[in-house]
Structure 1
Amino acid sequence: MNHNPYAKLQMKLKELAMLLFVGFAVFILVALMSYNLNDSQLLWQSQSNQNTGIQNIEGIVGARLADLLFVLFGYAAFTAPFFLILSAWKLWCPAIELSNKHSMHLLLTTLLVLTITACLSCLFSLFCVDDQWLPFGPGGLIGYQLAWFLLEPLNVFGTVTVMVMMIGMSATLILPISLAEVAQQILRVMKWLVESWFSLIETANLPKTVADKKQPDFELNPATRKSNEKKQPISRSRNLAVSENSKHKSRKKLLTLDLLASPKRQHIRQVSQEQLKLLSQQIESHLKDFGIDCQVVSVQPGPVVSRFELDLAAGTKVSKVTALAKDLARSLSVTSVRVVEVIAGKSLIGIELPNEHRQMVQLHEILGSNDFMNTKQVLPLGLGKDIAGRPIIVDLAKMPHLLVAGTTGSGKSVGLNAMLLSLLYQKTPENLKMIMIDPKMLELSVYDGIPHLLTPVVTDMNNAAASLRWCVAEMDRRYQIMAACGVRNISGYNALVKQKSISLSDLGLSQGSLIPSDDEKLQAMPHIVVLADEFADMIMVVGKKVEQLIARLAQKARAAGIHLILATQRPSVDVITGLIKANIPTRISFQVSSKIDSRTILDQQGAEQLLGHGDMLYLPPGLAVPTRVHGAFVDDHEVHAVVTAVKSSGQPSYIDNICSSISLEPAGGSDDDGEKDELYDQAVAIVIETRKSSISYVQRRLKIGYNRAANLIETMEKCGVLGPVTNSGVREILVEKN
């Protein structure tokens, strides 16, 4: 953030004043420490004797200053350096004040300091023994006179009470502390001392065999660790489960946070309160130049951006401020300005400005936070931190599907890796399965071979469509089983299976893909997460079939425990269609290139003003106002380390028919209505009758689009009507006219 010359001059003057206060405090302290009573007598003699007999380290100036302070205040003179240091600290770390009454504040502070010093002098005069070291005793002239004045009407107890009250009230007004907070801290310390005392007494009274049972220093075995974790609070160094064999529960390997890079201590220069005050004044001034009267009410600094909350004048439309975002960014010399039109619970608007020094958010911080460690969410995703620096942990099971968009370099791939690692840290392969679709063949290939996968990472789009059809079939199969069991969702079903043993024969159902063929007893159903890194490529290659499959899963798959995470770098209306948006209300938008793309993904603008590198807007379900989140960063080395640890826990159990090119029919009905084109039979008749198999010919005869005609020709090839394309570009017609 650039500042004008006046602001730099003001900062330099403050630094000079701070150095002056510190230097003067050290000078007074040294003069008081090296004070000698003989110097007081020499000061009243001739000038020549003064220069030769002074014993003070700082010469005659230090001797005179020390003598004056000790004569007036006695031992209370030592408070002068303390209050000078306090003044310097206040200059260095000022509070947020938007008023300009500095002179009145300085006068009040001076009076309060003199009050505290005079009261201390009075107390020293009452209780300290006069050892003839000071010229007017331990309380000085002021302390002696004040004690003499108050002792006759108030006596000793009343005088002490009044002095202590005056010191307490003055200190409360000067120091940035609250008496309530001090009392709470004292109570906490006293409570801790009492509890520790009673704990020691109980431990001493226990038998030796019980008292000697302490936590071992070595690594506990899995069974002992599991029992101890239920009794002891979860610490920040807690290990998270990777895998567990459901049949042979003899060992359980743990995935530690040491696999992730620890957050380095970043030397971040926090935005000073003076800079925030100056920016507040500039915002008010620049908006006033555009005809908008407002007042900055509060400022919320964060690790990446700072939010200024404004109170607009009556009758001012928020849209006027939003339209001036680029002009305001130019006036403030920043890269971008985001206007928050609605702040929940407040009648204010927000203006978010990027900080000059950006703080890096590491995934280790998010997964190591208490919010993630102690979460009770079913499928927790660690996104990052909000503008106040609080970790953002969301539950995929409640969304229940997620739509992610962002341009190249916006941090979308890193965000997907952070979500995947969050799931791997919390869920075992027994309660979470995944299907990953990676058209780029680069982003998700590192996860190939982890035990959570139902099939190898899918890179062919036809196989991707087949995997979605399998998910639809699995969804219908799960619904049949849950309906026969009388439960409403996967949580109720898993709880029922744990309580009692139920076989398929009791329900009259056949075995499914996730139930072994040699065991008819119902087992707990794992959650299935389908992650597509670039689903726009699927829609371009396969067409409307994928959109219909995604819509079916988004509408019905929540209760069956199947969840979608769809990501794209091209948030256009032909990719994120109305059918998909209507069924996926939860969305995340990284930086996009235009307002149109922002409206496509979020139904509102704002994503085009993000800073990139993980800066995102998270729109939770049921809310119309997105939350700004600074995404967690995870390096490729960290991803490889975690994946290697996960792979070492076991081998994946793939299902063979997931990526089969044959369309799977759900149990209880056919899905041909959504898969077969109604013009297919007519197109086959035209090709066989005319013996012409080009796409353009079928397009002209049926008066349809090129993509639809190409899909019809591809379907004929799969069904054996046409052969593959030869070198000359002609397809052989395999079916005769008869």
Structure 2
Amino acid sequence: MGKRGRKRKFKLSFNLSSEALRSILAVVLILAGFMVIVSFIAPDFPVNSKIQLLLRKVFGLSSVITPFILIISGLLFIDALKIKIKEFRIILGLLTLLATLSSFLHLFLQNDKAKILAIEGKGGGFIGYVISSTLKSTVSIYGAFFVLIALVIISLILIFNISFDQILNFYTNIFKSGKFFGLGKPKIADSDLEVTPGMSSLEENSDQPDIIVSKNHEDFLESKFEIVKSMSEPQIDLSTGMSITSGISPKTTSASVSPWPPRDTIWELPPLELLDDISSIPPDTGDIEENKRIIVSTLKSFDVPAEVVDCQIGPTFTKYMLESPPGVRVAKISNLQGDLALALASPTGAVRIEAPIPGKKQVGIEVPNKKRANINFKSLITSEQMKSVKSKLAVVLGKDVGGVTHVYDIGKMPHLLIAGTTGSGKSIFIHNIIFSILYRASPQEVKFIMIDPKRVELSAYKDIPHLYTPMVNDFEAASSVFKWAIVEMHKRYKMFESVKARNIESY
């Protein structure tokens, strides 16, 4: 007979994940909070009366705050729930408020009487008795009063996440606007953003811009936004797809003056004489031959044979082109970027390695010049690359290491985000975009909406005729302008659809 195998012992395992444990804790705490609320509503039941007795002996009359603390504590264990009250600071603020209110209820009582009330579950309970008696014995009753007032203020700041500055500004604005005395001005809703199909509003005041934005904050809240099409913009009935008139009678047409240049006027582009002449000062590249020797010797010290065959001098960098014999891995050269920067004493503390150079069997090492050469906008706008692009939205990006001007049509990139460190040239690039368009397009062809909260970056453009609205510096005005732009975007999509056009060029 074969040997019988051992019988396995029965083992009951209890594996509980941390998420399941958190869920159980959340349910227990939320249930406890609601049970406390029920005990306040129906205190005559046996369990509810014991809950009430315990809470009143510990916290006294201020125990009404405890269910909120328990419920919010339970919500903290539910990660998927995203609500504003689910924050630890609110629990901390409620706990501080609970202890402070309990202490206040015993503050002006004698210690013997306060102790009797605490035992009976009245006043501020045992917690209030202990805190108030401790404060009165250490800093006197007056000091205890100010300490508790400070704790109440701290608890309210934690709960509502506000500061003294916000409170003072709030009440200051109320007094200034007259709302405290019932004289406040009604706030205009988003529906007040009005788009009009014609130009009749120009009859009253031809000098008004398309978007009326008041520089005064109070006037801004009171005014409506009225968008009026310029004369150069085609008028179309969206329901029929047919052209329509502007809605101005012959009598008013002769008297009305458009705020934009007439359609039949030939727009003169800004003269190039306004720009600085092209600079002839070359960059300071240092000793190029010495740099070649340093690059070769540094690579050789790491068993990487290479030879510098050529170099390109750019306005900001000088590119050294390397060739290495077959069998040398490109990654070995790339990994020596820091060592090459150290050996060359790079002015910026870094070099850029282009491994390999596109279209060549070479590796490029870009070393920052000791002194950069200034690139004038005149040299970019008059370049052959810019002249060869027909789009009115073509902008110059700058020059590369080889001195080649790069141009791009921003109409082909509907979304553009400019980012970089301080001093990296973000503002200069924005000015490049604006200048490129101003030197190629008339106000009838391109319009700008400029928002400048800092009031210094774009202030030089506040009087150009290409502006669709005056310069926007107020955040609330900017919000309304964005909302109008969305309405205008959808309106133009419908216009494209009515004539079966894909974009504004084909329209």
TM-score by length of 1: 0.31
**Which structure has more RCO (C-alpha within 8 Å, separation ≥ 6)?**
1
Q: TM-score, normalised by structure 2?
A: 0.45
More strand by share: 1
